[in-house]
Structure 1
Amino acid sequence: MPEKSAGALAASRPEKKYPLPKISAPRAPRGTLYRGREGMWSWVLHRITGVSIFFFLLVHILDTSLVRVSPGAYNAVINSYKTPIMGLGETALVVAIGFHALNGLRVILIDFWSLGAKHQRLMFWIVIVVWVLLLVGFVPRQFMHIFGGA
């Protein structure tokens, strides 16, 4: 029996005609959390504030550990923190911690409440309103402390 090549075997089989699939542009997903709206900005701000808080804590641990190495160096560092620039940095820290904490509660609700994803946009705006109200109570008093008003 003569050997047949793969091409000859394929040619000897009857070919089935299959229509080519229609290719269309994918539909834009709807109802997802991270599509350039409140959910995405909340995610971005949560990461930025989290990383900022991490670096603050790292510096805080390092400067506090100076008290063991050299009390004089520790005092010099602490005195440098009493400048208006560092006061503004403290204000930024409180702003970051406030948003991170409130948005963290929102993330917990999204994860563990069955209706969390449905109401995530409303919860974002509630977080913003509560955050701004807390800042209205804190920032003026902090500025008075920084700039000598109190």
Structure 2
Amino acid sequence: MTVTRAQESRSATTRGISAYRGYRPPPGMISWAFHRITGLGVLLFLLLHIVDIFLVNYGPEVFNELLFLYRHPVFRIGEIILVGAVYYHAANGVRIMLIDFWPAAYRYERQLFYGVMAVFLLAFIPTAFLMIRAIIQAG
């Protein structure tokens, strides 16, 4: 039985929105995007840190004036996000090295992605808990 284009479109519209599953990117694409985003976040912090250290040349007063920034609650939350970015970037970097140097690992890309997420969560959740507790106790 051949289905014409008109019948196909009619059946798709009668099924409604529930028939649309949407686009689901593969794990490799998701990990690539997260790897780039976390890398840019770490780079941004590194640039801020370079500027911070550069200000030491202008004397301790100028350097100490900038330290208020590091004590601000928004920056402290940013530090938690930074630690998460470093954890993910490092774990995903190991996944990338496995795929690059062991070609058979490409067949297990989905499992490696879930492994990276598991390692990230196992490392990040306790660290974030300790950092949040320190913020609350200091504040």
Counterpart in the other structure of 2:91: 102
The reply on whether 1:71 has 2:75 as its aligned counterpart is no
Match of 1:140 among 107, 111, 129: 129
Which structure is higher in helix share?
2
Counterpart in the other structure of 1:20: none
The reply on whether 1:40 has 2:32 as its aligned counterpart is no
Cα shift readout 1:102-147 (whole Å, capped 9, x = no counterpart): 0000000011112121111101000101110111210111001112
Q: TM-score, normalised by structure 2?
A: 0.79
Counterpart in the other structure of 1:12: none
2:104 is paired with a residue whose SS is coil
Counterpart in the other structure of 2:115: 126
How much has 1:95 moved relative to structure 2?
A: 0.4
Q: Which amino acid aligns with 1:129?
A: A
1 or 2 for the larger relative contact order (CA 8 Å, sep ≥6)? 2
Identity %: 37
| Matches of 1:80 and 1:69, distance apart in 2 | 18
How much has 1:149 moved relative to structure 2?
A: 6.5
CA radius of gyration, larger in:
1
2:137 is paired with a residue whose SS is coil
How much has 1:80 moved relative to structure 2?
A: 2.1
| Matches of 2:66 and 2:29, distance apart in 1 | 38
Structural RMSD (CA): 1.6
Cα shift readout 1:47-70 (whole Å, capped 9, x = no counterpart): 011111111101101111111113
- The runs of 5 or more residues in structure 2 that have no matched partner are 1-23
